Amino acid sequence: MEKIMSSVFLKSKYFFGKGAIFEAKDELASKKYKKALILYGGGSVKTNGSFNDLITLLKEINLRYVEFGGIEPNPKTDTVYKAILFARENKVDVIFAIGGGSVIDSSKVIGALTANPHLNDVWEYCLDTSKLVNPSIDIIAITTLAGTASENNSGSVISNSKTNEKYGVFTPSAVPVCAIEDPTYTFTVNKWQTASGIFDCFSHLTEQYLGTGTFGWTKNYLFANLKTLLKYAKTAVDDPTNYEARSNVLWTTTMALTQLAYFQCESTDWAVHTIEHSFSGRWDITHGAGLAFVTPTYWKLRSEKDSWFKDKIVEFGKEIFGVNGFDATIEYLVNWIKSIYLPTNWSQFSEIKEITEKDIDFLVEHSFKFNFAPHISKDFFRKVITELAKIK
């Protein structure tokens, strides 16, 4: 293995645990913000106490605020642009993004474009960030759904309202300055979204593991996180107010997608995410559930192609599932997916009525155009997607 250079930047200050938001009070007061934008989704934050806590906090630190709600899952360029105009009009200098990955992802693009009024095309920015002149205004993330790790990374995955394309953009200056994580805010997340968030994290960990030249320390870090996730997943899904399960899942999901999780690794393998984004772009399905559907097929076909990949799956099966051999690992994976009520075929997604040849072409083109796994060819994407289309 060649010598690899890694620079690690963990910008967020974490406040974790029941009542975490009030622990952040002094930190937030010291920032001397003038006016905040509270950004949220379809309203779940108003049913689980998190929104009320935030208002209480803002009043305590005398910070004026305006609200923008309605960020949808798989956030769309049109909605994000409306929020940017609202933020500019109200001259806000900080965004409190309260919700799941969709809200926090959106806040980073909104923060960046609010600070750069010469940029007005959200999609263009997603494809090319080079015209950004000023750093984003500050983002404070208050996570209410464990999964994406958006609270401590620079990523935003945005969907084009017109073309159904979905793409991830990175805005380093918009990594949240504070990540506020109160596990009790996640008590109200339903089974489907809880399991989807868990599988999203599973995918982040395995896709960073399934590259080449995995650094010893990092492999152990990934395995430790996977073991924790597996230990608490089912309880978090079936017993939603179990604090121990919810808190372990929440912290694992956060730690799964920082620069530590691929520290000193030669390569990673983001093919499952690349393929899933084409599905959630095309049909607006839930991201983590889509990953669960894609993963077993990708692992099987990729292992037929590359023996070292198969060896890693076997090592993973032994270490994480406690089973021996490739077939046993895939079987365990599929059963685990079913045990947390996630889909193993596409007809389990109410949004997908059929997958036509035209759809397959769209998915293949999308995967190749927005490829986070450049070592995967278009032909191989077609092979995997064609196989997935058969699993009804």
Amino acid in the structure at residue 142: I
Rank residues 149 and 180 by Cβ distance to ligand NZQ and give the closer one.
149
Q: In angstroms, what is the minimal distance from the CB of 134 to ligand NZQ?
A: 21
Question: What is the footprint of ligand NZQ within residues 165-194 (CB under 6 A)?
Answer: 185-186, 188-189, 193
| Cα gap 10→25, rounded to integer Å | 21
Helix segments in the chain, DSSP class H: 20-23, 25-30, 50-60, 77-89, 101-114, 122-127, 191-209, 216-238, 243-255, 271-283, 287-305, 307-316, 326-339, 357-369, 378-390
Binding partner selected for residue 77 from ligand NZQ, Zn ion, none, CB under the kind-specific 5 to 8 Å limit: none
Name the residue nearer to ligand NZQ (CB basis): 181 or 200.
Answer: 200
Task: Please choose which of Zn ion, ligand NZQ, none residue 12 contacts, taking the beta carbon within 5 to 8 angstroms, the exact cut-off set by kind.
Answer: none
Kindly provide the b/e burial profile for residues 272-301, where b requires at least 16 CB atoms within 10 angstroms of the residue's own CB: bbbbbbbbbbbbbbbbbbbbbbbbbbbbbe
* Interacting span for ligand NZQ (CB under 6 A) from 102-110, 174-182, 209-217, 259-267: 102-110
Q: 93: closest CA among 179, 181, 182, 177?
A: 177
Residue closer to Zn ion (CB basis): 63 or 141:
141
Which of 111, 155, 211, 317 is in the footprint of ligand NZQ by CB under 6 A? 155
Q: Binding to ligand NZQ (CB under 6 A): which residues in 38-77?
A: 41-45, 48, 73-74
- Residue 33 or 254: which CB sits closer to ligand NZQ? 254
Comparing CB distances to ligand NZQ, the nearer of 287 and 312 is: 287
The one segment of 1-9, 28-36, 142-150, 217-225 that binds ligand NZQ by CB under 6 A: 142-150
Name the residue nearer to ligand NZQ (CB basis): 74 or 317.
74
What is the helix (H) or strand (E) element at residue 170, kind and residue range?
strand 166-170
149 lines the binding site for ligand NZQ (CB under 6 A): yes
Give the Cα separation of 181 and 179 in Å (integer): 6
Number of residues forming the site for Zn ion (CB under 5 A): 1
Closest to Zn ion by CB, 84 or 272: 272
C-alpha 50/C-alpha 43 separation (Å) is 11
Question: What is the layout of strands, in order, in the sheet containing 138-143?
Answer: 13-16, 178-181, 138-143, 94-99, 35-39, 64-68
Site string for ligand NZQ, 334-373 (x = CB under 6 A): ----------------------------------------
Per-residue contact track with ligand NZQ, 247 to 276, x per CB under 6 A?
Answer: ----------x---------------x---
Are the beta carbons of 291 and 276 closer than 8 angstroms? yes
**190: burial class by Cβ within 10 Å (0-12, 13-18, 19+)?**
exposed
| Sites for Zn ion among residues 175-234 (CB under 5 A) | 200
CB of 216 to ligand NZQ, least distance (A): 25
Exactly one of 165, 181, 182, 200 binds ligand NZQ (CB under 6 A); which one? 200
Stretch that binds ligand NZQ, among 11-19, 99-107, 260-268, 357-365 (CB under 6 A): 99-107
- Phi, psi dihedral angles at 352 (to 5 degrees): -100, 110
3-state SS assignment for residue 338? helix
Closest to Zn ion by CB, 200 vs 269, is: 200
Q: Which is nearer to ligand NZQ, 100 or 111 (CB)?
A: 100
The count of residues in the chain is 392
Instruction: Assign 3-class secondary structure to 135-161.
Output: CCCEEEEEECCCCCCHHHCCEEEEECC
Angle between helix 287-305 and 191-209 (nearest 10): 30
**Exposure pattern of 341-368 as b/e (b: 16+ CB <10 Å)?**
bbbbebeebeebeebeeebeebbbebbb
Question: Which residue lies nearer to ligand NZQ by CB, 174 or 314?
Answer: 174
- The one-letter code for the residue type at 178 is C
Q: Give the one entry of Zn ion, ligand NZQ, none that residue 44 binds, where binding means its C-beta sits below a cut-off of 5 to 8 angstroms depending on kind.
A: ligand NZQ
Can you say how many angstroms the Cα of residue 334 is from the centroid of all Cα atoms in its chain?
22
Q: Which stretches of the chain bind ligand NZQ, using CB under 6 A?
A: 41-45, 48, 73-74, 99-103, 105, 144-145, 147-150, 153, 155-157, 185-186, 188-189, 193, 196-197, 200, 257, 273, 287-288
Q: Which stretches of the chain bind Zn ion, using CB under 5 A?
A: 200
